[in-house]
Amino acid sequence: MPGWPGFRVGEHLRARHGVPAAVDNDANLAALGEHTAQFGAEKHSITVKAGTAIGSGIIVDGRVHRGATGAAGDITHTRIDGSGDIPCSCGNTGCLETVASGASLVRQMHERGYSTVHTTEDVLALARDAHPDATTLVRTAGNHLGQALSGVVNFFNPHALFLTGSMSASEPFLAAVRSRVYEACHPLVTQTLRIEAARTGADAILQGAARLAMDGLELRAP
Ligand SMILES: [Zn+2]
């Protein structure tokens, strides 16, 4: 977020309002919400939020792993082989965001002459209707995401990989992620790995926010 690095949002809210405040990003909260619904306070998982943009949250032993500077899980700027040299919002080229995000699918549909496509949902609706170009693009996006995730999955060996966000409802997208991860990862890592659409759906972030707040206050759900 340009202009915000180093600004302590939680501390600012606490000082201003005199109450406890818990702050996190949407991907971490979605990961926490889905993981808690699936596993409670143990096990390891990665939740990828794939919609107009792509982000992910990492859960280790039931808790959010934020990394040294809070940037853990920021998978969208992973360089993808064969992605071309499309400029990314980060200033680099060839990032996952430029080939697998919903925004990139809209751009690619425009490049193919489909000027009536404006949103990620427009592309997904065409893919649901078995539109050849839309389906190919959605599948290719899943393949690229699977490529980026396979290194992470091999390294981290999670119990589950959950997908949330609008793209996760697309069967060709999910199938492409699955096949790429299973193909590229070591069998020891994939033998019990679950790769599924998140069952908390659009509520994942809200549920994660509630859990974070309760953990901060050392409350537990009954
Ligand atoms: Zn980038």
Q: What is the pLDDT of residues 89-106, one digit of tens each?
A: 889 999 999 999 999 999
Q: Separation of 75 CA from ligand 1 center, angstroms?
A: 9
**Residues 116, 198: Cα–Cα separation, whole Å:** 30
The predicted pLDDT at position 110 comes to 97
The predicted pLDDT at position 36 comes to 96
Q: Separation of 66 CA from ligand 1 center, angstroms?
A: 19
The 10s digit of each residue's pLDDT in 162-211 is: 999 999 999 999 999 999 999 999 999 999 999 999 999 889 999 999 99
**Residues 73, 57: Cα–Cα separation, whole Å:** 5
The predicted pLDDT at position 218 comes to 73
**Residues 182, 77: Cα–Cα separation, whole Å:** 22
Q: Separation of 77 CA from ligand 1 center, angstroms?
A: 4
Q: What is the mean pLDDT of residues 141-152?
A: 96
Question: How large a percentage of the chain has pLDDT more than 70?
Answer: 98
The predicted pLDDT at position 222 comes to 46
Q: Separation of 39 CA from ligand 1 center, angstroms?
A: 32
Q: Separation of 86 CA from ligand 1 center, angstroms?
A: 10
- Is residue 138 predicted with pLDDT exceeding 70? yes
Q: What is the mean pLDDT of residues 123-137?
A: 97
Show the DSSP H helices in the chain as ranges: 9-17, 26-39, 97-100, 102-111, 120-128, 132-156, 171-184, 187-190, 204-216
Overall residue count recorded for the chain in this entry: 222
Residue 2 carries which DSSP code?
T
Q: Separation of 87 CA from ligand 1 center, angstroms?
A: 8
Q: Separation of 13 CA from ligand 1 center, angstroms?
A: 30
Return the structure tokens found at 216: 């901060």
Q: Separation of 204 CA from ligand 1 center, angstroms?
A: 25
220 band by pLDDT with thresholds 50, 70 and 90: low
The predicted pLDDT at position 35 comes to 97
For 72, other C-beta atoms within 10 Å of its C-beta total: 17
Tell me what the pLDDT averaged over the chain comes to.
Answer: 93
Q: Which residues of 186-205 are buried (b: 16+ CB within 10 A; e: fewer)?
A: eeebbeebebebbebeebbb
Q: CA 171: distance to chain centroid? A: 16
Q: Separation of 74 CA from ligand 1 center, angstroms?
A: 10
**Residues 76, 53: Cα–Cα separation, whole Å:** 8
Q: Separation of 90 CA from ligand 1 center, angstroms?
A: 4
